[in-house]
Chains A and B, each alone.
Chain A
């Protein structure tokens, strides 16, 4: 069978292009994989630092001293605002504000109920 030289050249070109594309896809895939791994490592490092600060803040927020408590709560605000603080972390931090605010909220509720019954 006689194959047209143009067809042969075209097929060679196509095979060459496919090889090049395959190599490019492989390289990009590998780079993406590396980027993802780096991103994961960075997130893990940030998360570790978040927890480190959380333990500092929690210690302060639970102290008997009013000054230390305030500093701890201020730090917890910064930690809660972080994008690393997801729902679970927020629920954990929630305990600290409840300790401080519950009494005043209960008082307000009682006073409201008193006014209604009066």
Chain B
């Protein structure tokens, strides 16, 4: 059996960056890079969080000293009062994202909201939308779904006004996750389907499998098992095609569990 490959947090982030760049530049991604990128330890958009529980791959392990520690937050560069408001806003947004990576959602939310205010003060609406989406994500992590929904909806309005489809798709996915967590499954399915429509354009297929995976979960919650199976089978195919073996194995298990549940329900009905 092969020895596990030890990777650092930076290498995982670099591998994910490589995957995005390879897709955009039309290059092939080495299998090792896929494996490293599939280790789920970085910040992921809210919609991915409920599927981000799989264990690291058997062959790729994180070095223990690289795990997230709250004291590392102090290691970011300090904000300089001489910065222009727009640079200050970019700094707060960077800090918010960094804190969310480290799962410090409360502080992350504070920085995201500060970024929103600063972007508004200089009328940079694209920045405002990004900061609103990040504040929505942080609020969702803290269980404050009302504020999360409101921020992400405001971001969505801006993305649509600006014809920013990448931002729109990312925000729709976040809204789908927020509605799922709020037990509003029908709304969740609606948002995921809208995100899918945007992601299915030829040059914008990033994270299609993740959206289908999340969509399947909301459909299961709605009792629409047939449609959920269709979404999950497609997600499974894409996970395998992209070498995301951990996700593929987890989803395969969930599909099998769904089959067992449906067979049990069918058996109890015919038994009656």
Contact = CB atoms under 8 A, between A and B. Distances in A.
A60 B126 contact: no
A75 B94 contact: yes
A52 B90 contact: yes
Contact of A71 (B32, B36, B94, B126): B94
B49 interface: no
Contacts of A82: 166
B97 A105 contact: no
B42 A74 contact: yes
Given A52-B87, A57-B94, A82-B166, A71 B25 contact: no
Contacts of B57: none
B210 to A, nearest CB: 13
Given A49-B124, A71-B101, A96 B14 contact: yes
B126 A105 contact: no
The secondary structure that dominates the A interface is helix
The secondary structure that dominates the B interface is helix
Contacts, number: 118
A83 B10 contact: no
A65 to B, nearest CB: 5
Nearest to B95: A71
B86 interface: yes
A73 B14 contact: yes
A87 B21 CA distance: 9
Contacts of A45: 124, 126
A57 B76 CA distance: 12
Interface string A27-63: 0000000000000001001100100110011011000
B11 A100 contact: yes
Contact of B91 (A56, A67, A97): A56
A68 B93 CA distance: 14
A73 B20 CA distance: 12
Contacts of A104: 5, 7, 11, 32, 36
A105 B30 contact: yes
5 contacts: A52-B86, A68-B75, A74-B97, A90-B24, A97-B15
Interface of B: 5, 7-11, 13-18, 20-21, 24-25, 30, 32-33, 36, 42-43, 66, 72, 75-77, 86-87, 90-91, 93-94, 97-98, 101, 124, 126-127, 162, 164-166, 206
